Amino acid sequence: MSSAPQDWELQAAGDPRTHPQLLSDIATRRPDLRGIIAANPSAFAELRSWIAAVDSGVQAQQPVSQWPAAPAVAGPPVRARRSGAGWWFAGCGCLTLVVLVVLGVVFAGGALISEGGGASSGGISSTSSDEEYIGEQMAIVATERQRFHELAAQLEGNPVAPLVTEFAKSQRLDKRIAEGPSNRFQAESLANDATEMRENLEQRFAEAEARRGNASGTVSEALVEEAGNGFIDIAWDAATACSVSGREGRTTAGCTSDDPLAVHILPENELFGDWGVRITTLHELAHLYQYADLEERMDQDQSAAMALMDQGFFEGSGEKLADCYALTYTGGWTLESEQGSSGYGYVCNESERQAIREWAALINAPMP
Ligand SMILES: [Zn+2]
């Protein structure tokens, strides 16, 4: 879940309000951001040409001093964010600033130098409407991804973070962004997807905020909140939400559903007391951890839990793994109580418990 919330250069690179000279400075320092800068509508034609040239391996002198000042003067005011005005002035140079101010006076209200008019070199410096549109869309992408990664960073250490952020989908989107759009439709699709992912994530944060506080005052909700910090939902509706057990004499005490961030259990008074509540809730939480584990390792086609089962742990069963998580968490050595039994009939051994502890540490799942 890494991101760089402090990476102001990334933010500035995609922001159409960023001063053209600053874009030029960033392009010099950050080869990784040149694609985003080239798509920024505030990037002047010579800068785009330069980026195209250096990206294709041509030795080219960066047109630092050639950029036309007038459009910048006519455009939206440069905004210095976060660290105050100093940071872009510092990268700008006093002479440039003086020239900018003078030009600003000369050209204010008058004819402006058109962006493409002074282009001195070839390359992809056309200012067609397609290019501008792509630039606008990619600016949206940059802003949306910045916000998304800032939020995602707040989930550091949360075992269901990969589910909250839709980790695999987010990775695919970042890959598409890195490849860059080849036409306006792809750019629009990237902007739409980035916007949707940010909206979904904000929605989950709002839901988590509203959910926190253990309104039911139950042991099960306390366990769920401890695990997910509000990002996991709990409902005591196993009787209707879960499928009927196919095993004779058994009742389904809990399940997970289409929503990978929700657990369903029976009302606590039907779960054989405090012991049954804990075992059942922890078992279902372990399923969510398995989903999160897989979501984060989708590109490896195997989760860490699946690797353990492949090695023969938990008799190769995700259900017995979930029981083992509950047993290890509670320190219990039985799935039976005076009132009844819980789980899948296999009490895991010490080496399996050690594997569970290591797995829990890997995926940030709580383990006392
Ligand atoms: Zn289960």
* Distance (Å) from CA 299 to ligand 1 centroid: 25
Q: What is the Å distance from ligand 1's center to 320 Cα?
A: 8
According to DSSP, the residues that pair with 254 across neighbouring strands are: 265
List strands edge to edge, sheet with 254-256: 233-235, 262-265, 254-256
CA–centroid distance, residue 283 to ligand 1 (Å):
6
| Cα 164 to ligand 1 centre (Å) | 21
Mean pLDDT computed over 53-65: 54
Q: Ligand 1 centroid vs 322 CA: distance in angstroms? A: 6
pTM of the model: 0.67
Q: What is the mean pLDDT of residues 271-292?
A: 96
* Residue closest to 101 by CA, chosen among 72, 80, 81: 72
Distance 278 CA to ligand 1 centre (A): 14
Distance 127 CA to ligand 1 centre (A): 58
Distance CA 153, CA 3 (A): 6
pLDDT at 127: 57
Q: pLDDT tens-digit profile of 172-182?
A: 999 999 999 99
Number of H helices, E strands in the chain: 17, 3
Nearest to 232 by CA among 328, 161, 316, 152: 161
Report how far residue 357's alpha carbon sits from residue 328's, in angstroms, rounded to the nearest whole number. Answer: 8
Ligand 1 mean position to 210 CA, how many Å? 27
Query: How remote is the CA of residue 319 from the centroid of ligand 1, in Å?
Result: 5
DSSP symbols for 42-60:
TS-HHHHHHHHHHHTT---
- Span 292-349, pLDDT tens digits: 999 999 999 899 999 999 999 999 999 999 999 999 999 999 999 888 889 999 999 9
Two tokens, residue 314: 């938990």
Domain map (residue ranges) of the chain: 8-207, 219-363
Predicted local confidence at residue 57, as pLDDT: 56
Tokens of 328: 């290890």
Ligand 1 centroid vs 152 CA: distance in angstroms?
A: 28
Distance (angstroms) between ligand 1 centre and the Cα of 352 equals: 17
The tokens of 268 are what? 């606590």
Tell me which DSSP letter residue 1 carries: -
CA of 185 relative to ligand 1 center, distance in Å: 43
